[in-house]
């Protein structure tokens, strides 16, 4: 049941929205597409759904071509479910009617009799905890409830592929976290393949088996949440996903010089960082020392107590801001100058 995207391109009247996208979504996987607004996520989703015809490349579902630059299979002939960003609930139908709709009209429907459909509707509504609201209209539901109905409608027909376009972006923070957990659980319980589009890295990291990071119509990196977080392949991914500090300096082979002559040797930094003379390091990969113990110095702007640790923001002498975690009992005073050193990892100097 794998979905394979090969050399996919999309051009809107001269604007190149997607450039050579290659991606395989395996059966049962939860894949998140992560990228800033405007990078082409929705476009990719609409191509998969069949609302757009690509200008180049092919999309294959289950080994049969559903779209290339000449011909596309229309959305109602692909067994797909979709949760729209705006929910797209029909204002003139009750919750039950919305959920039953795909079972009545899809050519892939496995629920042929009225009774089957009613049972399935009840089951799906129960799954999303909406069984009590079956006779309500969308205008009588809250944001989170609408969201659940949209998900129920998309799941009703057991689609081969479930597409979700920033489904949580219209919800408030509390509800967001709740629904995030529910969608994860749903995926674990129901199975099925999910393609989940978001611009929120915490959603992607928390829910997905595989993350695809995009920027300006191009895929930057594909990997598991851990890979993406700990081993970003370029500065964009490091900044957008990893919340990394990017220290400015200069590379010479595997040796990085920063501050006023501080040096470190690291064999595992990707060439794309070296090209921009940057060194990626997380907040916990740095340590604060006395101002005479390092040639890389800055003034502490903010100390935020976070329980087990302190989060410290420094303004370095090159005007760059750094985030560093320090032990909770260590006393760091705001407004004073300190030195900063990159901690050595175990495998660094071989």
Partner 1 sequence: MSENKIRRYIKYAVGTAFVFLLFLWPLLNMFSEAFIAKDEGFTFAYFANVLSDAGFAKVITNTLLINICSMVSAGIVGVFLAYVMAYTDIAFKNILHKLLLIPLFIPSYIVTLAWMQLCMKNGLLYQLTHFELYSYKGIILMFTVCQYPIVYLMCLSHFRRIPRELEQAAVVSGCGRVKAFFKVVLPITKITIVNAMLLVFLSCLDNFGIVAFIGIPANINVLSTDIYKTIVSSTKDSYNIAAVKGIVLSVLAVIMMLATQWLSGNNKAENCEKEDMEPRIMLGKWKFVLAGVMSCFIGMFNIFPLIKLVSSALTKGQGVKLSLKTMCFDNFFKVLRNVKSMNGIKNSIFLALMAVLLCTVIGITISYLSEYKKDRIASGIQAVVTFPYSIPGIILGLAMILTYAGSFHGFTIYGTIWILLLSYVIRFTAVSLRYANSAFAQLDTSMDEAAQISGANNYVKWKKVIIPLSIGTISAGMGLVMIYSMMELTTSSLLWSGGTETIGVVIFNFTSAGLSNMASAYSSIIMIGVCAVAVLLKVIDKSVRTIRRR
Ligand X SMILES: Nc1ncnc2c1ncn2[C@@H]1O[C@H](COP(=O)(O)OP(=O)(O)O)[C@@H](O)[C@H]1O
Could you list the residues that contact ligand X (CB under 6 A)?
12, 15, 17, 35, 37-43
Closest contact distance (angstroms) between CB of 101 and ligand X is 26
Count residues binding partner 1 (CB under 8 A): 28
Q: Which is nearer to Mg ion, 124 or 171 (CB)?
A: 171
Looking at residue 25, what DSSP letter applies?
E
What's the distance, CA 167 to chain centroid? 12
Under the binding rule (CB under 8 A), the answer on residue 137 touching partner 1 is: yes
The least CB distance from residue 98 to partner 1, in Å, is 9
Our CB check for partner 1 shows the closer of 88 and 348 to be: 88
DSSP SS3 for 329: coil
Could you tell me which residues come within 8 angstroms of residue 321 by beta carbon, excluding any fewer than 6 positions away? 301, 313, 314, 315
Residue with tokens 């002498």: 317
10, 67, 291 from 56: Cα distances, Å: 7, 9, 57
How does DSSP classify residue 73? -
Nearer to ligand X, 154 or 214 (CB): 214
Among 101, 248, 291, 313, binds partner 1 (CB under 8 A): 101
Q: Which of 335, 347, 254 is nearest to 298 (CA)?
A: 335
Give Dmax over CA atoms of the chain in angstroms: 80
- State how far the Cα of 8 lies from the Cα of 102, in Å rounded to an integer: 29
Distance in angstroms (rounded) separating the CA atoms of residues 100 and 288:
60
CB nearer to partner 1: pick between 140 and 302: 140
Closest CB 45 distance from partner 1, rounded Å: 11
Selection from 165, 228, 222 nearest residue 199 by Cα = 165
Restricting to residues 47-76, name those near partner 1 by CB under 8 A: 49-51, 74-76
Does 121 interact with partner 1 (rule: CB under 8 A)?
no
Member of 40, 81, 280, 298 binding partner 1 (CB under 8 A):
81
Q: Which positions from 22 through 51 interact with Mg ion, judged by CB under 5 A?
A: 42
Residues that bind partner 1 in the complex, under the rule CB under 8 A? 49-51, 74-76, 80-82, 84, 86, 88-92, 101-102, 105-109, 137, 139, 153-154, 157
The residues of the shown chain that bind Mg ion, judged by CB under 5 A, are 42
């Amino acid at each position: 049941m794998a979905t394979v995207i090969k050399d996919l391109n999309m051009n809107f009247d001269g604007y190149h929205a997607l450039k050579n996208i290659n991606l395989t979504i395996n059966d049962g996987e939860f894949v998140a597409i992560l990228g800033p607004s405007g990078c082409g996520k929705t476009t990719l989703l609409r191509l998969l759904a069949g609302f757009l015809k690509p200008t180049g490349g092919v999309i294959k579902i289950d080994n049969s071509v559903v779209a290339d630059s000449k011909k596309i299979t229309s959305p109602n002939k692909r067994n797909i479910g979709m949760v729209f960003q705006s929910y797209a609930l029909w204002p003139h139908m009750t919750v039950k009617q919305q959920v039953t709709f795909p079972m009545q009209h899809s050519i892939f429907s496995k629920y042929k009799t009225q009774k089957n459909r009613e049972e399935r509707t009840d089951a799906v509504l129960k799954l999303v905890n909406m069984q009590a609201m079956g006779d309500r209209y969308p205008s009588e539901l809250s944001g989170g409830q609408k969201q659940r109905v949209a998900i129920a409608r998309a799941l009703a027909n057991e689609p081969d592929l479930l597409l979700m376009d920033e489904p949580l972006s219209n919800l408030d923070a509390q509800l967001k976290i709740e629904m995030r957990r529910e969608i994860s659980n749903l995926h674990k319980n129901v199975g099925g393949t999910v393609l989940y589009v978001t611009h929120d890295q915490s959603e992607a990291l928390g829910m997905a088996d595989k993350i695809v990071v995009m920027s300006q119509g191009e895929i930057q990196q594909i990997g598991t949440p851990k890979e993406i977080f700990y081993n970003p392949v370029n500065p964009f991914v490091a900044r957008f996903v990893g919340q990394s500090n990017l220290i400015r300096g200069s590379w010479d082979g595997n040796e990085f010089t920063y501050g006023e002559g501080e040096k470190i040797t690291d064999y595992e930094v990707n060439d794309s960082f070296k090209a921009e003379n940057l060194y990626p390091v997380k907040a916990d990969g740095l340590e604060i020392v006395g101002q005479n113990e390092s040639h890389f110095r800055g003034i502490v702007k903010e100390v935020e107590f976070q329980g087990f640790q302190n989060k410290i923001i420094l303004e370095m002498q090159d005007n760059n801001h750094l985030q560093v975690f320090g032990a909770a009992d260590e006393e760091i005073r705001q407004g004073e100058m300190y030195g900063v050193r990159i901690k050595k990892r175990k495998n660094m100097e071989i």
